[in-house]
Amino acid sequence: MSLFPKALLANAESLLAAYRQRGWRLATAESCTGGLIAAGLTEVAGASDVLECGFVTYSNVAKQDLLGVPREVIAAVGAVSAEVAEAMATGALVRSGAEVAVSATGIAGPGGATPDKPVGLVFLGAARRGRPARYERHIFSGDRAAVRLATVAAAIALLQRLSDEETP
């Protein structure tokens, strides 16, 4: 029995097939999801053809040391930000053999919120070799588990869009 909904697993399977066809390898850089994006992908048999590695960088120090996120950026805008999401994705790309990287940083709750950064706020980053990094901002509802699963689904959708944007 899987932790993940069938629809999410079907999307992961489709994503892995698309990346496999392109010969793309993938890296993840995760904070609020604690490795769930990589876990969702590896729930699909044959994911090792595509998934290069995953970084779980829950602390700011880990983001800096493992992914090269500048301390000044975290100090200026906070770990839950577009800038950090992009830097995490870029750092995962630089530190791996992957062609594509995705990142997630956010506030899954129930604590940690501020007036400007509510529970459910998540930034996803994506980077592809030779292209500028980009981000998406989401606010997911529900409890901690719901926010984390919604983040995994959104990350898989973002990765699929990156593949769809390329002409075969």
Residue with tokens 């493992």: 66
| Residue carrying the six token digits 């990142």 | 103
The closest alpha carbon to 67, from 26, 100, 95, belongs to 95
CATH 3.20.20.70 for the 6-164 domain, yes or no: no
0.85 surpassed by pTM: yes
What's the confidence (pLDDT) of residue 2? Answer: 85
For residue 56, give every residue at least 6 positions away whose Cβ sits within 8 Å of its Cβ, in sequence order, or none. Answer: 30, 31, 34, 35, 62
**Residue 167 pLDDT level (bands cut at 50, 70, 90):** low
> How confident is the model over 66-76, as pLDDT tens digits?
999 999 999 99
Query: Tokens 């602390």 appear where?
Result: 59
Q: Where are the domains of the chain?
A: 6-164
Which pLDDT score, from 0 to 100, does residue 168 have? 55
Q: What is the pLDDT of residues 140-155, one digit of tens each?
A: 999 999 999 999 999 9
